[in-house]
A and B are shown apart, each in its own frame.
Chain A
Amino acid sequence: MVAHLLSLKWRLLLNGFRRSPGQLVGIIIGSLYALGVVAVLVFALFILRWAPLDVAAAAVTLGGAAAMLGWSLVPLVASAADLTLDPARFTTSAIPARELLAGLALAGFIGLPGIATAMVSLATVFTWSRSFAAAFGALVGAAMGALTCVVLSKVVTTATASLASSRRFKDISSIVFIVPLMLLGPIFAGVVSGVSESASFLIDLSEVVSWTPLGAAWSLGADLAAGNLLASLAKFLVAALTLAVLFGAWHFLLQRALVTPPYAGSTARKGGRLGLFRALPAHPAGAVAARALYYWLRDPRYAGSLVVVPLLPVLLIFPVGQSGTSAPLLVLGPLTAFLLAWSISADVSYDSTAFALHLASGVRGVHDRLGRALACLSFALPVTLIFTVGSVAMAAQWELLPGMLGLAIGVLLSGLGLSSVVSARYTVAVPLPGESPFKKPPGNVAQTIAVQLIGMLVLTLLVLPEAAILVWQLVSGTGVAGWINLLLGTVLGSVLFVVGISLGGRWLDARGPELFAELSANR
């Protein structure tokens, strides 16, 4: 039975490669990325072979503990738990629990994160190949540690299965997860500087962690290398006990999950709250704008990009603090304008087959386009203006303000026009409604990449005039150039906005059914 489960998982993994060439490209890119990370870590562990004992011990122990934390937390917040072997699917198959546990645990290693963890864990054996005993201890520790990672994540996902199946939890967790992801750079840099300043603290910390369930397995090699036989025996017991307790908990949870499927309830709400549908004009374009604004707030796929916006200044201020020059900060306004404008370039793809309502109602294409663009503009314009003024103020380069405003407004309006055309013509692979924004979307990845790249290239061409004048101002220092840019950005941007809306609208009228057919294929 264990072999059956393993071969099933292996078959599922292989079948993932047997989709369209476009998807294959996406999978290969993902695999290469994972491979790169693994290679760096393995290389680092090889180098540690010659590092001082306490440094190597701290690195391995803390790294291992971090991996365990990751395995338990990531599936929880990303809703990205690997459910291909969801225990609920075996409810009807009458598999003995013991074999199911063993099979699912081992199958957890088949897949990118599992393989990566196993490889990196095994590399610690080389780190501790300072003596035979140490290497042996590291091998045992690596096996136990990696297995603990997998079982821990299974325990967490099984325990929270009913929680995670509630829509509200999924919505919130997938948005919250974006914050640490976005701030990865600053966090990483902070950790690096912390490490270089307080190496001795980390060594002390690893001493403590090595006695906890998180670090015990990973410190076996270090203790044996240092000759602490007694300590290593005690830590082996801690690690073994951890694994046993986790298996027991998982067994219990699985038994419960097999007989009580997850249930997600919700409460009824009376009506009477039309909100934006009452506030905006009673016109097809107004209705589309109201609907789009609700989606910006309520759909995690849209709300996720809203959460990113307030983080952008943080990301840009960070390098300023590091280097002392405020130049990068000036990018903030145009960058925000670009991100927000481009975010509706996949609007129809995000609708998925719900677009049928627009098609069936005979909404005119131009109204559809206008509503979506105005919804985005209604908050993107204030944000762009505030960010531009704010960044210029922080950089204390007031003479650049009109020119920067011109560029930012130009990027925003031209971008919205371009997005209106792109989303009327091309569908791209996006997560389906109700799925996590991080979920690998079905559909044509190759077309998605092509549309994104070419679209950004075209946008660069469209805002070239504004960019050129800004450069002219920077080079020559003429203040009047800035005012020209403000005028040009507003006028040219508005023209491109209108052209984009009407062209996109015409394409939508002509190709609505074909667009819908593409959406139906992707659902």
Chain B
Amino acid sequence: MTDQGSAFPPHSAQPSGDPAPQGPRQIGAPQADARRGDARQGDARLPEPLPENAHVPALALRGVAKRFGGKIAVDGISLDVPVGSFYGVVGPNGAGKTTTLSMATGLLRPDFGTAHVHGVDVWAHPLEAKRLMGILPDGVRLFDRLSGEQLVTYAGLLRGMDRDVVRSRVADLLAALDLQQDAGTMVVDYSAGMTKKIALASALIHAPKLLVLDEPFESVDPISAANIRSILDSYVASGGTVIVSSHVMDLVQRMCDHVAIVAAGRVLASGRTEEVRAGSSLEERFVQLVGGGHRAGGLEWLRTS
């Protein structure tokens, strides 16, 4: 298990701002030669602390692995998320997306591997790394006996921010997310979509450089989803980096410039979205890579005519 970083495939270690297609090398089938090529690259970086320069990825995972009892949830994932990218992580349920993102953001200690945020080791210097990150975890409660406004203020003050800065940013965020009307309502009485939005506001309050969002569009209505998307788009346009996990392929294909397909705790393909989908739609590519898929026969009795 210790050398997961070299044993498992591909991450597209793409420097930011390099639009040149890297070709189907690590994209096509993640097979032998591609694996070796990438692994070497991963190994070379592993022991050294990442140097501070423009090519430091916003998030760099190296051989991250986690086991829960007898089940290996994440089986050595290495990923580079370039600065300024809108990065989608897609995978079937139970693929290890949430576990991976939890280990990347300091919520879950990995058994093996490292995570660096803008060159800062998340597990060696958690406080510094957490200052750079805004997190929207999935399936986590909020302090929902506070009003929406109080919750976002709380998130800001917890990070030691100045009260006046917090106040003006809370007002801006509530306006941008269209929550002003319910600012004084307790979060426990919010709808699912409003709850997601207030959690997003709490993640944005300290103006992080990297935003990690686990299933940000789950149970969110189309209007709110468009609202969230436009905020994320302008955040990326201004130089921020966003990582979203999702299993809505359509959304990821339209929204993200980079994508990683994860299944059974491994990365099956990663890179620029158009390279990963290689001509077909992301959904087709996903089904093709993950396997399983359509089985039309067997339910003949269901035909009603």
**Contact, CB under 8 Å: A299 / B180:** no
Q: Find chain A residues with CB under 8 A from B107 CB.
A: 356, 359-360, 513, 516
Q: Find chain A residues with CB under 8 A from B189 CB.
A: 167, 266
Residue of A nearest to B103 (CB): A513
- Also in contact, A282 and B146, with CB within 8 A (given A167-B189, A266-B185, A272-B183): no
**Contact, CB under 8 Å: A362 / B131:** yes
Cβ-defined partner of B130 (8 Å) among A266, A282, A352, A361 = A361
Bound CA–CA A364/B183 (angstroms): 28
- Also in contact, A363 and B181, with CB within 8 A (given A274-B150, A354-B144, A356-B107): no
**Contact, CB under 8 Å: A298 / B145:** yes
| Residue B141 CB within 8 A of the other chain | yes
The interface bits of chain A over 482-523 (1 if a CB of B lies within 8 angstroms of the residue's CB, else 0) are: 000000000000000000000000000000011011000001
Bound CA–CA A272/B144 (angstroms): 17
Bound CA–CA A356/B140 (angstroms): 7
- Also in contact, A362 and B126, with CB within 8 A (given A283-B157, A286-B157, A356-B107): yes
Bound CA–CA A356/B214 (angstroms): 13
- Cβ < 8 Å to B, chain A residues 274-293: 274-275, 277-278, 282-284, 286-288, 290-291
- Also in contact, A357 and B155, with CB within 8 A (given A282-B162, A362-B130): yes
Cβ-defined partner of B184 (8 Å) among A270, A360, A433 = A270
Residue of A nearest to B134 (CB): A360
Residue of A nearest to B190 (CB): A266
Cβ-defined partner of B143 (8 Å) among A267, A272, A354, A517 = A354
**Contact, CB under 8 Å: A271 / B109:** no
Q: Find chain B residues with CB under 8 A from A354 CB.
A: 140-144
Q: Find chain B residues with CB under 8 A from A438 CB.
A: none
Q: Find chain A residues with CB under 8 A from B146 CB.
A: 291, 294
**Contact, CB under 8 Å: B108 / A360:** no
Q: List 22 A-B contacts (CB under 8 A).
A: A267-B185, A268-B182, A270-B183, A270-B184, A271-B180, A273-B149, A274-B149, A282-B163, A282-B166, A284-B160, A287-B153, A291-B154, A295-B143, A295-B145, A356-B140, A360-B203, A361-B130, A363-B158, A364-B127, A513-B108, A516-B108, A517-B108
- Cβ < 8 Å to A, chain B residues 59-115: 105-109
How many residues of B are counted as interface, with CB atoms below 8 angstroms from the partner's CB atoms?
48
| Residue B186 CB within 8 A of the other chain | yes
Q: Find chain A residues with CB under 8 A from B262 CB.
A: none
| Residue B213 CB within 8 A of the other chain | no
Bound CA–CA A101/B175 (angstroms): 51
| Residue B256 CB within 8 A of the other chain | no
The interface bits of chain A over 107-148 (1 if a CB of B lies within 8 angstroms of the residue's CB, else 0) are: 000000000000000000000000000000000000000000
| Residue A242 CB within 8 A of the other chain | no
**Contact, CB under 8 Å: A273 / B127:** no
The interface bits of chain A over 337-381 (1 if a CB of B lies within 8 angstroms of the residue's CB, else 0) are: 000000000000001111011111111100000000000000000
| Chain B nearest Cβ from A217, distance in angstroms | 43
**Contact, CB under 8 Å: A270 / B180:** yes
| Residue B39 CB within 8 A of the other chain | no
The interface bits of chain A over 241-283 (1 if a CB of B lies within 8 angstroms of the residue's CB, else 0) are: 0000000000000000000000000111111111101100011
How many residues of A are counted as interface, with CB atoms below 8 angstroms from the partner's CB atoms?
45
**Contact, CB under 8 Å: A294 / B184:** no
Q: Which residues of B contact A (CB under 8 A)?
A: 105-109, 126-127, 130-131, 133, 135, 137, 139-150, 153-155, 157-163, 166-167, 174, 180-186, 188-189, 202-203
Residue of A nearest to B182 (CB): A268
| Chain B nearest Cβ from A335, distance in angstroms | 28
Q: Find chain A residues with CB under 8 A from B202 CB.
A: 357
| Chain A nearest Cβ from B213, distance in angstroms | 12
**Contact, CB under 8 Å: B144 / A362:** no
| Residue A194 CB within 8 A of the other chain | no
Bound CA–CA A283/B106 (angstroms): 22
Interface centre among B127, B153, B183, by most A CB within 10 Å? B153
Bound CA–CA A351/B188 (angstroms): 14
| Residue A310 CB within 8 A of the other chain | no
**Contact, CB under 8 Å: B106 / A360:** yes
| Residue A434 CB within 8 A of the other chain | yes
Residue of B nearest to A362 (CB): B130
Q: Find chain A residues with CB under 8 A from B150 CB.
A: 274-275, 277, 294
**Contact, CB under 8 Å: B127 / A294:** no
Instruction: Pick the 3 closest A-B CB pairs, nearest first.
Output: A271-B183, A287-B157, A362-B130
Bound CA–CA A288/B130 (angstroms): 18
| Chain B nearest Cβ from A370, distance in angstroms | 13
**Contact, CB under 8 Å: B188 / A360:** no
Q: Find chain A residues with CB under 8 A from B105 CB.
A: 360
Residue of B nearest to A363 (CB): B158
| Chain B nearest Cβ from A431, distance in angstroms | 13
Residue of B nearest to A166 (CB): B189
Interface centre among B140, B161, B186, by most A CB within 10 Å? B140
| Chain B nearest Cβ from A520, distance in angstroms | 8
Q: Find chain B residues with CB under 8 A from A513 CB.
A: 106-109
Bound CA–CA A359/B130 (angstroms): 9
**Contact, CB under 8 Å: A284 / B157:** yes
Q: Find chain B residues with CB under 8 A from A270 CB.
A: 180-181, 183-184
Residue of B nearest to A521 (CB): B68
Residue of A nearest to B130 (CB): A362
**Contact, CB under 8 Å: B157 / A282:** yes
Bound CA–CA A94/B144 (angstroms): 37
Q: Find chain B residues with CB under 8 A from A282 CB.
A: 157, 161-163, 166
Q: Find chain A residues with CB under 8 A from B203 CB.
A: 360
Bound CA–CA A275/B186 (angstroms): 13
Bound CA–CA A275/B157 (angstroms): 14
Q: Find chain A residues with CB under 8 A from B131 CB.
A: 362
Q: Find chain A residues with CB under 8 A from B174 CB.
A: 271
Cβ-defined partner of A268 (8 Å) among B127, B139, B144, B185 = B185
